[in-house]
Amino acid sequence: MDWLLNAPEETLCIAGLIALLFLFAGKRRTVDIQWHSTYFVLSLPFMVVVLSFLLGLNSLVYWWLPSAKRMPWLTIGHVGLLILATFALLLLALLFRKLIIRLGFGRVQNIIFRVLGLLLLGQVLGIANWFEI
């Protein structure tokens, strides 16, 4: 766990590079999300690039800001939630069609929104950690 506290930027950078491997995951897959009366269709390559960019951007912020003022539990929470939610979203995108057949569209969409909530919670922890809120 020392490597996570001493160099979270390296952990996030490596996770972002691993996430880019999802670009080669096979067929072009899409995720369909209905939010009120709007219907979103996201492609897997788009999600991979955006989530990898998010990991890289967080890595850059950790590298740029001084490490002396970081709280260890916020660092672990932020990096852990960010990586967990990113890979959970990518796996959900890969298995989207199979999950809909098995669980139904509403339940899969509920899972996606909960994972997005974890991603946002991780970002809030990161902001609190970076700026000592």
Tens of pLDDT along 57-110? 888 888 887 765 678 888 888 899 999 999 998 888 888 888 888 888 888 888
pLDDT value for 81: 92
For the cut 80, the answer to whether the pLDDT of residue 11 exceeds it is yes
Domain ranges of the chain: 2-131
pLDDT value for 3: 66
Decide: 81 and 122 in contact? Cβ < 8 Å: yes
As a whole number, the mean pLDDT across the chain is 83
- Within 13 A of 102's CA, how many CA atoms are on the CB side? 7
Torsion over CA: 84, 17, 56, 29 (sign): negative
Confidence (pTM): 0.81
Alpha helices by DSSP H, listed for 7-104, are: 8-20, 44-64, 72-94, 96-103
pLDDT value for 84: 92
